[in-house]
């Protein structure tokens, strides 16, 4: 049973990794199109709205991690240990891993932007 759980976790992380790498290229493509002026006003608005919502979302996520980190270190002898799930600099020798659960900040940020951009684009197409 433990092996099945590990295979499931590895599959989920692999899918997230593939989607994340594609989201980096999606984000770069959208920003290059804005820079070159290939988008109309509605498409530019979609990209800029996505950037704003992504920034707000990332601010909230990183603030929560910051508060949890402070709480874990300020309470002596609490038994509550916190390792940030999203961090930069590859502290655990891997970009995405499940031992410990970790996600590289750059990839996470691009993933958030791409997911928000995908939904904003669908909203404006309807």
**Backbone φ and ψ of 96, nearest 5°:** -135, 125
Is-above-0.75 flag for pTM? Answer: no
Q: What is the pLDDT of residues 10-40, one digit of tens each?
A: 788 778 778 777 877 877 887 788 888 888 8
**Helices 2-36 and 105-125, interaxial angle, to 10°?**
60
pLDDT score for 93: 63
Query: Does 109 have pLDDT greater than 60?
Result: yes
101-104 vs 86-87, strand pairing mode: parallel
Q: What is the pLDDT of residues 50-80, one digit of tens each?
A: 889 999 999 999 899 888 888 777 777 767 7
């Amino acid at each position: 049973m433990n092996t099945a759980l590990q295979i499931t976790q590895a599959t989920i992380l692999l899918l997230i990794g593939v989607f994340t790498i594609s989201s980096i290229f999606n984000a770069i493509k959208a920003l290059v199109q804005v820079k070159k002026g290939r988008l109309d006003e509605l498409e530019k608005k979609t990209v800029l709205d996505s950037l704003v919502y992504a920034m707000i979302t990332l601010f909230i996520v990183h603030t929560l991690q910051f508060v949890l980190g402070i709480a874990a270190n300020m309470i002596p002898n609490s038994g509550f240990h916190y390792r940030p799930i999203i961090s930069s600099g590859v502290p655990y020798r891997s970009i995405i891993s499940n031992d410990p659960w970790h996600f590289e900040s750059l990839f996470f940020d691009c993933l958030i932007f791409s997911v928000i951009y995908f939904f904003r684009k669908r909203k404006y197409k309807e």
